[in-house]
Structure 1
Amino acid sequence: MNDSALPDTMRYVRNHLMHFYRPWIDTADVAHRSGEERETVFLSRALAAQAVSMLTGCGPEEAAASVVDGPGDSGIDAIAFSKGGSDIWFVQAKWSHKGQARLREQDVAVLVTGLQRLADQRYEGFNSGIRASLSRINDALTSPRCQVHLVAALAGDARLTPEVERQLTAVGQGFGFADHIPVTVHTLGLADFHSAARTRVGLAPVSLSATLSDGWHRIDAPYEAYSTSVSADELASWYNTHADRLFDPALRSHSTGRPDPVALSRLIARPEEFWYLTQGITVVCEQIRQQFLARRAPGQPLLMRLDNARVVTGDTVIATVAQAVDQRPSTGSLALIPMRVICISGAPEEFTSRLTQAGEVEGAVEPRDVFALDPLQQALRDEFADELAKEYVYRRGAVAPAPDAGCTMQEAAVALACAHPDVSLVARASADPSYLWRPAPEGAYTRLFGGRPSARQIWQCVLLLRQVRTALAHAAAGGLRRGRDLAEHGDLLVAHLVLRQIDPDFLEELAESPVELEDWVTQRTWEIAELVASATENLFGPHLFLASVFTDERKSHVLADSVTHTLTPPPDALPREVSRRRRPPNSVLMLVEHGRIPEGTRVMYRPSPTEERAIGEWLSEDPRRYLATWTNHPRRPLIWEIDHKAYSPSALVTHIWSEAAWDEAPSVVQGPSRWVIPGEGTLADLAREVAPPNEGAGI
């Protein structure tokens, strides 16, 4: 098009798009069209890329790579993701040489249809650009911090008609995003693109000021460098001022941008100790300028100005510190963070990359590394070896055992989360697996292992989870409705619903799963998977990203309750063939067979210190809550004083926890160790007394 015929604003935007995006925008698919048509296509795609750049802060090359416009785009011109993958942008762009582009109702309808097809996993017809993004789309929608952004990029007035705006804002409700995944509508008009073009000079260099008031050490060769500390206040101000521009591009490319929840809790609780517990950050710069604040001498207070600075290691530390200062401002003056500053003006070009890679290799201490020091984990390793002849690997980096030979602490934690009565645990774990490694109240570690599960209980939960996953994989291959979503994202919820139907004491009674149990689990898994797929559509609509349901605690509760009430026949007992193959004998069976406890003996609940702190007050409100009567029933020998119903020892403990509304209750418990006959000992103690030599009870 004749450049002189364009209005000044349009000419400026057009020239900007041509200059910055010509090397990166692909128009090979329209090579057969006229020159004017090719230019219009290029400018429309460049406009979509520019919108991505304006909203995410990425450069032209990365923004251009997000463009998916072309045949098979279903109204989606660009798809972009935040650096941590939690935010996702769907862009629809419209170019007009006259500056009169607008979004019509039919344009939005095409976009909504495209999103529906993504939600329904009907990928046929999508172009290669969209298909290449499918994995990242699903990953984004399962992130606990996910936000969906719908963007109208218009070379014209940014205002939308009321009907178009209504269609866009209704997308969240229609695709199951409401409440859990916020949906934001953005409109960028010609004025926005003109303003961005006028101010665009690339990413401006970052200059930082660091006040060194607590001592420092200087190294002169081979590169000028300082080892020092910086206050949390100053570090947070860097992040709040510069955001992602603070980080080296190599670090931005793989950074999650998320605070470390464990470090955040530790920093807020004991800011004075944070310096000892963090690896700190590394900053590189082109020039260091010094200004002594008192006497000119090594270690004396110093104001350091860093030109063209960027952080090459410690992005998680900075995000954690910034959030801590935001949540509790007093942290800023109390916490110090170790810092290295290196002037790289004379260093080889690859030196910065080596610094970043070294930071990646060293990594940070993860929460599971801390819990690997828990004596309980070491005890479980020994118990797995002694009682099951299995390996239990609890240290990160150690080689995982073969499936038949044992399991890792990670797999055990996931399986225990599935066994927990509260479906919130699997929803949180599906959204963020690190939730399982955090301490209370931010994480689930105590709820999983606080009841001191036995090796047999853990191993049985692991086997059941594996069987559910195998059954789901077969169901998905066999054409189960929404089968791939269920197998990839709904496996924990389905496993939770299967384990919910198994008596907790049964988990102590098997060293291995007999074939009959595997068949039972497979059939139950298929039945539940069908019900989950059907209930999800009935409850939340037919066109939604199913993965978003499994990471939403509220929806998971509603879905689990609906499926549980729909199950036909009602939750049934396991096959008799299974129950006859128990190995080794459990405490109750041992006591009943030997007649160790007379019928009608009074038994008392003895809570652990953790249980006493959590529900002791509730128990004391009615002392009968501590009491039960023994009967010689081989499975449910305890009659609770409150409701006069029969329970197994473990089932009654978990029932008491539920009645007391203990939200942080553990997944499983060794019930016989909690029930005491006054003057004689626990049920577990008495079972050991009557057990034949070399044959322990499953306590």
Structure 2
Amino acid sequence: MNPLQVRHVREALVRQFEEHIDLSDLDDKTPARHREQSFLSRALAAMTVQHVAGAGPADAAASVIDGFDDWGIDAVAVSEDVPHVWLVQAKWSDNGNASLDQASALKFKQGFDLLLREEYARFNKRFQGLADRVDRAFGEGEVKITLVVALLGRPVLADAVNFVFKQACKETEPMTDVRVMGLPDFHELVRSGVGEPKIGLAARLDGCASVPEPFKAYYGTMHAGDVASWYEEHGDRLFAKNIRTSLGLTTVNRSITDTLVKRPDHFWYFNNGITVLCDSVRRTAKFANAAGGPGDFVLAGASVVNGAQTVAAIHAAVKQAPDVASAGRVWVRLISLEDCPEGFAIEVTQATNTQNQVKARDYAALDERQARLRDDFALSLHKTYVYKRGDVDPAPDAGCSIVEAATALSCANRNPELAMRAKQNQELLWEFGANGSYRLLFGAQPTAYRVWRSVLVLRTALAHLAEGNRTREGRAAQVAEHGDLLIVHLVMQQLVHEAFDDQGAEWESVLVRVPSLTDSALEWLIHHFDAEYPNNSALVTFKHPQKCRQLVDLALESARSGQPRPELPAEYSPTPKENERKAAAVPVIVNSGRVADGSPVEFRPVTGPERRTLLPWITEDPRRGQATWVNDRRRPLLWAADGKQYSPTGLTMQMLKLAPGEPPKAVQGTTRWYLPGVGSLAAIADSIRSGETD
């Protein structure tokens, strides 16, 4: 306990977030003490987001979802640059002794599990404004999820609490990690300033030289171990003025780390180096007269504005192999801002981060097989094949790009892992080497006919899946989204005997079969997913190679067996008849007297298309997502947007009609309208039917 540190943090929370934290769910009857504690807890969650995700005060406050139906998650932040989601649970204490008990940790994990299962409708309206961003991030192959425990107390978790988080990480490895922040961390943030921390660094440059004018700068090489120590002490705060922080364990960063671990003497030749902007750069007297020799420097207000990925990868390499990696050298520039004009720091940051980068796909363009494939497309098919980055992709009927070709060939390959790689990260398509995707896809020089016909199957299957997504719900929708390329793989494996390379083959008759094969592949994949992993989320399962191979083998065997397609649960694809049954929920609720007249009801979309269509529309006018319950058996929802009464399904259809976009074919309105802190109308009716109580 440190009362002075607690006071400093409290004052900073009030100063930064008093105008931004939403307390509208607390009415006038809420005691002042409770209101104050709610503010401080939510502001602490916002400050955490501000630090870990680099958000401004307003955006950080908007990430706070604390309140009814938060499921133990106080804030949710999503990186726009790379797929990274932070889930925060914050605990405030006036005495600076906040801790996390096992019950709170279990509730936090329960909320995490709901998000992984994409049960977004279970969360409150504050989360609904973030749902689509979370959904898009989860749809990316290499999404990173960080569970952040923010305690205004000691940053230590009890063994029972640690066990809960270890289980969460084990179930979702390798995409999840845990971070604990305590009073010392928050006080340091407040002391140094969350927005632009004033970091002091020491640097020794070998082969040191200077640029005296127009603006003072120094350059030379540093040992990787010294750079790693910067990150060890300051973390992502080193990159406060950078366009982005470390992107995590990307393909490029893995390559940087591998070079330092395996060939540290080559690192300087392979890496572009680091640029550090400093409020001031002071050279010490030691080695001051050694021209071209070493130089010791003291850096005030330092920020790495180019090379964030290099710094983070160096740190990872040094932790992995300290004796070897520390000896590597990296090129470093130190630029002093003491005599620079206003805006110069921003110009340097933008210029050093917007130069065109060479990507792995660019090396594939050097392969002569790509040029031969381009010529084969032109001469055999009279179509265009684009394989150089920067060239405009042709219209769909006129040809395809190397990216679409590689994705289609990945699905056509007998090994489902290639389709998984394409889904996870397209950069993995250009991995060279004996087991790299590129050699497996293009090494045998595929013909233009094979590539083009594979692309047509890919397009047809994905288009059919997209069409069906308007009516799928629950686990069916999740399998269709996260397993889409595995579904195309299953379709391709049922077409292996077709004449992909035969110039005279009639391909339209093959494409006509693709929608039916896609439906069969999807249904069998869902069936076996439910049977083998009934409690797992599709998001996690379809990132696991061994589980994917197992499911693909089972689904392919079933699809080829000729047996009737499996009957899936009705709630996966609601029919009008099912809607009528759910509509009966309204008289059940009215007859029970369970919900009082005037109770607030809020809309929560269930499917991805609904989120994308309705949430932006509701954000324009929040009244569109609000209604009041009226104990009327036909029209129990009094819509705040127009003051008229509707049935739950009728109001949902009316909203879909008014909002931009095409409405789905079937809607269960009672599963979309929620009483905060209680549940959906459908769930309330089911509870009444089964005789359960709150």
Pair 1:79-2:76 in alignment: yes
What is the CA-CA distance between 1:522 and the residue it aligns to? 0.8
The aligned residue for residue 67 of structure 1 is: 64
The aligned residue for residue 137 of structure 1 is: 134
The aligned residue for residue 149 of structure 1 is: 147
Q: Matches of residues 560-575 of structure 1 in structure 2 within 5 Å? A: 560-567=552-559, 569-570=561-562
1:195–1:235 Cα change, 3 Å: closer
Q: In the aligned structure 1, how far is the partner of 2:410 from the partner of 2:189?
A: 51
Contact 1:147 1:182 in 2 (8 A): yes
Of the candidates 222, 226, 234, which is equivalent to residue 234 of structure 1?
226
The aligned residue for residue 639 of structure 2 is: none
What is the CA-CA distance between 1:292 and the residue it aligns to? 6.5
Q: In the aligned structure 2, how far is the partner of 1:172 from the partner of 1:241?
A: 25
Contact 1:83 1:257 in 2 (8 A): no
What is the identity, as a one-letter code, of the residue corresponding to 2:64? V
Q: Matches of residues 95-494 of structure 1 in structure 2 within 5 Å? A: 114-115=111-112, 117-124=114-121, 126-138=123-135, 139-140=137-138, 142-144=140-142, 146-149=144-147, 151=149, 177-182=171-176, 184=178, 192-193=182-183, 196-197=186-187, 200-203=190-193, 204-216=197-209, 218-252=210-244, 255=247, 258=250, 259-265=252-258, 270-291=263-284, 296=289, 298-329=291-322, 332=325, 335-440=328-433, 443-479=436-472, 482-494=475-487
1:332–1:251 Cα change, 3 Å: same
**Unaligned regions of 5+ residues in structure 2, if any?**
565-694
Q: In the aligned structure 1, how far is the partner of 2:414 from the partner of 2:115?
A: 33
CA deviation map 1:484-518 (0-9, x unaligned): 43443321111111112222662212588733212
The aligned residue for residue 532 of structure 1 is: 525
- After TM superposition, the score normalised by the length of structure 2 is 0.69
Contact 1:288 1:304 in 2 (8 A): yes
Of the candidates 545, 556, 559, which is equivalent to residue 553 of structure 1?
545
SS at match of 2:207: coil
The aligned residue for residue 662 of structure 1 is: none
What is the identity, as a one-letter code, of the residue corresponding to 1:345? E
The aligned residue for residue 30 of structure 1 is: 26
Q: In the aligned structure 1, how far is the partner of 2:373 from the partner of 2:35?
A: 67
What is the identity, as a one-letter code, of the residue corresponding to 1:349? E
1:198–1:321 Cα change, 3 Å: closer
SS at match of 1:407: strand
Q: Which moved more, 1:92-101 or 1:72-81?
A: 92-101
Contact 2:8 2:190 in 1 (8 A): no
Percent sequence identity over aligned pairs: 32
What is the CA-CA distance between 1:417 and the residue it aligns to? 1.4
Q: In the aligned structure 2, how far is the partner of 1:265 from the partner of 1:197?
A: 36
CA deviation map 1:86-116 (0-9, x unaligned): 6544334455768898878886776566555
The aligned residue for residue 613 of structure 1 is: none
What is the CA-CA distance between 1:150 and the residue it aligns to? 6.8
Contact 2:243 2:350 in 1 (8 A): no
Contact 1:282 1:311 in 2 (8 A): yes
Contact 1:89 1:148 in 2 (8 A): yes
SS at match of 2:191: coil
How many residues are matched? 557
What is the CA-CA distance between 1:227 and the residue it aligns to? 4.0
Contact 2:9 2:190 in 1 (8 A): no
Contact 2:202 2:298 in 1 (8 A): yes
Contact 1:262 1:367 in 2 (8 A): no
What is the identity, as a one-letter code, of the residue corresponding to 2:501? E
Q: In the aligned structure 1, how far is the partner of 2:166 from the partner of 2:423?
A: 27
The aligned residue for residue 592 of structure 1 is: none
Q: In the aligned structure 2, how far is the partner of 1:246 from the partner of 1:509?
A: 58
What is the identity, as a one-letter code, of the residue corresponding to 2:463? T
The aligned residue for residue 614 of structure 1 is: none
CA deviation map 1:286-343 (0-9, x unaligned): 2122247658264333223322211111222323333344445566476443333211
What is the CA-CA distance between 1:350 and the residue it aligns to? 2.1
Q: In the aligned structure 1, how far is the partner of 2:256 from the partner of 2:371?
A: 24
Contact 1:96 1:156 in 2 (8 A): no
Superposed CA RMSD:
4.0
Q: Which moved more, 1:508-517 or 1:66-75?
A: 508-517
What is the CA-CA distance between 1:225 and the residue it aligns to? 2.0
Q: In the aligned structure 2, how far is the partner of 1:276 from the partner of 1:527?
A: 52
CA deviation map 1:246-278 (0-9, x unaligned): 213343368557453445555555544444443
1:240–1:510 Cα change, 3 Å: farther
Contact 1:78 1:92 in 2 (8 A): yes
Contact 2:236 2:246 in 1 (8 A): no
Larger radius of gyration between Structure 1 and Structure 2: 1
Contact 1:100 1:157 in 2 (8 A): no
Q: In the aligned structure 1, how far is the partner of 2:502 from the partner of 2:270?
A: 43
Q: In the aligned structure 1, how far is the partner of 2:40 from the partner of 2:200?
A: 34
1:290–1:245 Cα change, 3 Å: same
SS at match of 1:241: helix
1:29–1:535 Cα change, 3 Å: same
**Unaligned regions of 5+ residues in structure 1, if any?**
1-5, 573-699
1:122–1:388 Cα change, 3 Å: same
Contact 1:261 1:438 in 2 (8 A): no
The aligned residue for residue 673 of structure 1 is: none
What is the identity, as a one-letter code, of the residue corresponding to 1:300? G
1:90–1:289 Cα change, 3 Å: closer
CA deviation map 1:604-649 (0-9, x unaligned): xxxxxxxxxxxxxxxxxxxxxxxxxxxxxxxxxxxxxxxxxxxxxx
Q: In the aligned structure 2, how far is the partner of 1:159 from the partner of 1:282?
A: 37
1:144–1:305 Cα change, 3 Å: same
What is the CA-CA distance between 1:525 and the residue it aligns to? 0.4
What is the identity, as a one-letter code, of the residue corresponding to 1:316? Q
